[in-house]
C-alpha cells in the first residue's frame, strides 16, 4: 500500500510530476539510451537464445526471458516462464506489430539492462540480467512505481506481454483452476500440439 499512502499523504500532483519528467527527460532520449544497451553491454544470462527468433536479437531475448521469469515465477507447482517459452512467444507476437513499436520494446529492454541508465535513473550498479531474482523484482517494482512515465509505461508493456503469454498457455490452466474451453468438435486443428484446451470441460450450461 506504499503508493496509496504516499498519494493519500498529499501528492495528488504525482501524475503532473510524471508528465513533467516525461517532457523534461524526454521519452525518446531515454529510449535512445536503451538502444545502447546491447551495443555496449552483453546480458549476463545462462539462458541460450533460440536461433529462430523473429524480432529480437539474442541479447534482448535474454533480458526479456529474465523479465518473464520475474513476472511469472516458478513455484507452488506453477511451471517456469522458461518452460512455457514466454520470451519466444512474445518474440513471435511482436513480429506482427508495427516496426516502430517493436523498436520501442527493444529499447525498453536495453534501458532495463543498460548499467549506465540504471546508475543514472535508479542509482543502482549493474545490469538487470546480472542481478539476483529478488533484486530483479525490486527493479521491476521500481519501474512500476516510477515517477518517470517511460519507465512506468515500460513496466506495463513488458509485464503485460509476459503475463498474457504465460497465463494463456494451456500448461498453466490447471494451476489456476481453469478447465479450459469446451470442445465443440468443429475446430480445424491447423497445428497439432499448438495451444489447445487441455481437458474437454463440460459445456458451460452443465457447469453452471
The rounded distance, in Å, linking the Cα atoms of 112 and 67 is 10
Instruction: Measure the CA angle with vertex 69, ends 179 and 54; round to 5°.
Output: 90
The single residue among 46, 52, 75, 132 that binds other proteins, judged by CB under 8 A, is 75
Residue 2 as a binder of other proteins (CB under 8 A): the answer is yes
User: Nearer to other proteins by C-beta: 52 or 188?
Assistant: 188
Minimum distance, C-beta of residue 40 to other proteins, in the bound complex (Å): 27
Residue 166 as a binder of other proteins (CB under 8 A): the answer is yes
Residue 176 as a binder of other proteins (CB under 8 A): the answer is yes
Over the window 23 to 62, marking each residue x when it contacts other proteins by CB under 8 A and - when it does not, the resulting string is: ----------------------------------------
Minimum distance, C-beta of residue 74 to other proteins, in the bound complex (Å): 9
Residue 173 as a binder of other proteins (CB under 8 A): the answer is yes
List residues near other proteins by CB under 8 A: 1-5, 7-8, 14-15, 18, 70-73, 75-76, 78, 89, 93, 95-98, 100-101, 137, 140, 144-145, 149, 152-153, 156-157, 159-161, 163-170, 172-173, 175-178, 181-182, 184, 186-189, 194-197, 201, 203-205, 207-208
Amino acid at each position: 500500500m506504499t503508493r496509496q499512502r504516499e498519494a493519500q499523504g498529499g501528492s495528488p500532483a504525482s501524475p503532473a510530476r510524471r508528465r513533467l519528467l516525461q517532457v523534461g527527460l524526454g521519452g525518446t532520449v531515454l529510449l535512445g539510451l536503451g538502444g545502447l544497451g546491447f551495443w555496449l553491454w552483453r546480458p549476463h544470462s545462462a539462458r541460450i537464445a533460440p536461433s529462430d527468433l523473429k524480432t529480437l536479437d539474442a541479447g534482448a531475448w535474454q533480458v526479456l526471458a529474465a523479465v518473464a521469469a520475474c513476472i511469472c515465477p516458478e513455484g507452488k507447482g506453477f511451471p517456469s516462464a522458461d518452460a512455457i517459452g514466454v520470451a519466444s512467444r512474445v518474440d513471435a507476437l511482436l513480429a506482427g506489430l508495427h516496426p516502430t513499436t517493436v523498436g520501442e520494446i527493444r529499447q525498453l529492454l536495453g534501458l532495463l539492462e543498460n548499467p549506465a541508465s540504471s546508475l543514472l535513473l535508479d542509482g543502482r550498479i549493474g545490469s538487470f540480467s546480472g542481478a539476483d531474482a529478488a533484486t530483479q523484482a525490486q527493479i521491476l517494482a521500481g519501474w512500476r512505481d516510477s515517477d518517470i512515465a517511460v519507465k512506468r509505461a515500460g513496466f506495463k508493456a513488458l509485464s503485460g506481454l509476459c503475463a498474457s503469454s504465460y497465463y494463456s498457455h494451456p500448461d498453466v490452466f490447471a494451476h489456476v483452476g481453469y478447465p479450459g474451453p469446451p470442445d465443440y468438435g468443429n475446430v480445424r486443428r491447423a497445428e497439432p500440439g499448438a495451444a489447445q484446451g487441455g481437458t474437454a470441460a463440460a459445456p458451460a450450461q452443465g457447469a453452471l
